[in-house]
Structure 1
Amino acid sequence: MGLDFSDKVAIVTGAGGGLGREHALALARRGAKVLVNDPGGAVDGQGNSSAAEKVVREIEALGGTAMASHASVTDWAAVQAMVAQVIEHWGQVDVLVNNAGTLRDKSFAKMELDDFRAVLEVHLMGSVHCCKAVWPFMQAAHYGRILVTTSSSGLFGNFGQSNYAAAKMALVGLMQTLALEGAKYNIHVNALAPTAATRMTDGLMAPEMLRALRPELVSPALLALVHESAPTRTILCAGAGSFEASHITMTRGVHLSADNIALDDMDLHLSQQWTELTDRRDDIVPDNGFVQGDLEIRKAQQKLH
């Protein structure tokens, strides 16, 4: 039967094609009313098209309910108007899927700063705008499910994508903090790192790889992350029918006592203990940013006793 979204209203950005289209269709098939957002255009954000309307017609052909928005997620006023449109027509917003993206790949040495900023504006600030616009409505309803789209490029790095990787890892930090701040309002926030063949990967993969990486194989992860039963603060990787969880961990590390080691010698001792410092046995996934300081203070205190 699948997960039920029959009483939910969803906004999906960048939903005119690729992953966003599949996310919008999947939500609509499960019964959600869907605002399909896409300004249209090419991968680099240039040009215009009626992509959003086409997806709306697909959803309506399935018997679903949808409407289109051409707002650019980089335009705060336009994003506010988009959310107001949803509230006016459907009275609520339960799910936000931040999927809009752009690519301007080039090695860091050759990349223009304008191309760096442009990618940050779409991925990071676009998600910030959308989260900020829906946040008060989700707080008032004491319910919300928000997804940001991260990437293995951000989590692990990728040659030629310093701008994209920086934006995608920034979204993980945004997700971690919004999940903490949203907890008392039943707002769950998660991150999805998809591997899928879309317009952004055209010409980069062999035909058999393209078939294995069909974008519709990622959408089950999306549904699980924005359903009422969804977890929060999860980084889920998905592609080709496989699903993995990614974690930002911290090792137990070492403590160098300033009482026993001169400050001028501490860097040498640190280098000498690098293997122990980076040993991942018993590493932890911190609950929040205070865990690092707490661990360091406790280790220092233990040395005093």
Structure 2
Amino acid sequence: MSDQNPLNGKVMLVTGAGGGIGRALALEAAKAGASVVVNDLGASLDGLSDASTAAEDVVSEIEKLGGKAVANGDNVAEPDGAAAMVRQATDTYGRLDAVINNAGILRDCFFHKMTYENFDAVVKVHLYGSFNTSRAAADVFRDQNSGSLIHMTSTSGLIGNLAQANYSAAKLGVAALSKSIALDLARWNVRSNCIAPFAWSRMTSSIKVDSPEQEERVNRMKEMVPEKIAPLALHLASDEGADISGQIFAVRNNEIFLMSQSRPVRSVHHGGDGWDIASVRNQAIPALKRSFVPLEVSGDVFCWDPV
């Protein structure tokens, strides 16, 4: 395996690969030597419009570069769709080595205005979609005794953001799903990791610009191209990334972060019969309060300019 072709002989499925981050990942995977199943419904950002030829267009780009790829138009939100794209990979190329769960939609809205339908639709694509493709791939990976699952999470879920309860819930769920997969499939040398990407794409293009500060933030984001996500994702898919599992990374332009995972921060103990309401109020909360997590959004935590 050379540095130029670290994925030579590998087969990769990239969902939501018709544009943005998914397209960049599919193209870079092909350049690194992988055969790629390019999945995309070609729908609009909210998942409502008619399908387009987005997947086929990316396949054409890959083939012009001399790479190998096939288009897939199945829906990750449907178990049969996920099974079909995994089957297409094995029927076409004889195996499947990595899945990047990237497909997603947005229906941003403040929580008190959010409908069940808009909550359900976003969770179905992001969380159920990641489950469906991972579950379909798991049978192949177990038979091969190898495989890599790479899930796109978001700091909207890991930290928080306004007007994204559906998206945030799904993305934090993806992180928990990934950890469970990493634990359950470790005996078959299957690893599972997450990446929270910062990049200008169709998903981030929906950010509302209603102030000079927001406009400045968006302009900074436009400098973060989707191709910046690829090196980490492709390393996690390669044989050299085989010892990495159960981790959550973030990529922001030229920065790579390892994100924390929930652990106890501080504890208090009350002897005798334990706590009552009064002792919780007078002792527990004052002692714990100094370690409370602030009510922050992603931009408050990642508050410096990307480098």
TM-score by length of 1: 0.86
Is the counterpart of residue 272 in structure 1 residue 283 in structure 2? no
Q: Structure 2 vs 1, CA of residues 202 and 252 (structure 1 numbering), >3 Å: closer, same or farther?
A: closer
Unaligned runs of 5+ residues in structure 2 are 208-214, 294-307
Q: Structure 2 vs 1, CA of residues 208 and 264 (structure 1 numbering), >3 Å: closer, same or farther?
A: closer
**Cα pair 1:256 1:266 within 8 Å, conserved:** no
Residue of structure 1 equivalent to 2:160: 157
**Cα pair 1:218 1:241 within 8 Å, conserved:** no
Instruction: State which drifts further: 194-203 or 106-115.
Output: 194-203
Residue of structure 1 equivalent to 2:108: 105
Equivalent position to 1:242, from 251, 255, 258: 255
Residue of structure 1 equivalent to 2:236: 225
Residue of structure 2 equivalent to 1:295: none
Q: CA deviation at 1:278?
A: 5.4
3-state DSSP class of the match of 1:131?
Answer: helix
Q: CA deviation at 1:44?
A: 0.8
Rounded to whole Å, the distance in 1 between the matches of 2:260 and 2:42 is 34
Cα offsets for 1:75-126 (capped at 9, x unmatched): 1112212211111111111000000000000100111110000000000001
3-state DSSP class of the match of 1:14?
Answer: coil
Residue of structure 1 equivalent to 2:297: none
Residue of structure 2 equivalent to 1:287: none
Rounded to whole Å, the distance in 1 between the matches of 2:274 and 2:255 is 49
Cα offsets for 1:168-214 (capped at 9, x unmatched): 00001001110011111111100000011111222645684254211
Letter in 2 for 1:17: G
Q: How does 1:54-133 map to 2 (within 5 A)?
A: 54-133=57-136
**Cα pair 1:254 1:276 within 8 Å, conserved:** no
Instruction: State which drifts further: 183-192 or 77-86.
Output: 77-86
**Cα pair 2:154 2:171 within 8 Å, conserved:** yes
Is the counterpart of residue 212 in structure 1 residue 216 in structure 2? no
Aligned residues: 279
Equivalent position to 2:193, from 190, 193, 198: 190
Identity of aligned pairs, percent? 34
Q: Structure 2 vs 1, CA of residues 261 and 223 (structure 1 numbering), >3 Å: closer, same or farther?
A: same
Letter in 1 for 2:259: S
Q: Structure 2 vs 1, CA of residues 87 and 251 (structure 1 numbering), >3 Å: closer, same or farther?
A: same
Rounded to whole Å, the distance in 1 between the matches of 2:272 and 2:4 is 61
Letter in 2 for 1:113: Y
TM-score by length of 2: 0.86
Q: CA deviation at 1:260?
A: 6.4
CA RMSD of aligned residues (A): 1.9
Residue of structure 2 equivalent to 1:6: 8
Cα offsets for 1:19-39 (capped at 9, x unmatched): 000000111001000000001
Cα offsets for 1:228-284 (capped at 9, x unmatched): 2221111110121211110114235224234165535441321131246659xxxxx
**Cα pair 1:40 1:50 within 8 Å, conserved:** yes
Q: CA deviation at 1:225?
A: 2.2
Q: Structure 2 vs 1, CA of residues 208 and 132 (structure 1 numbering), >3 Å: closer, same or farther?
A: same
Which structure exhibits the higher relative contact order, with contacts defined as CA atoms closer than 8 Å and separated by 6 or more residues? 2
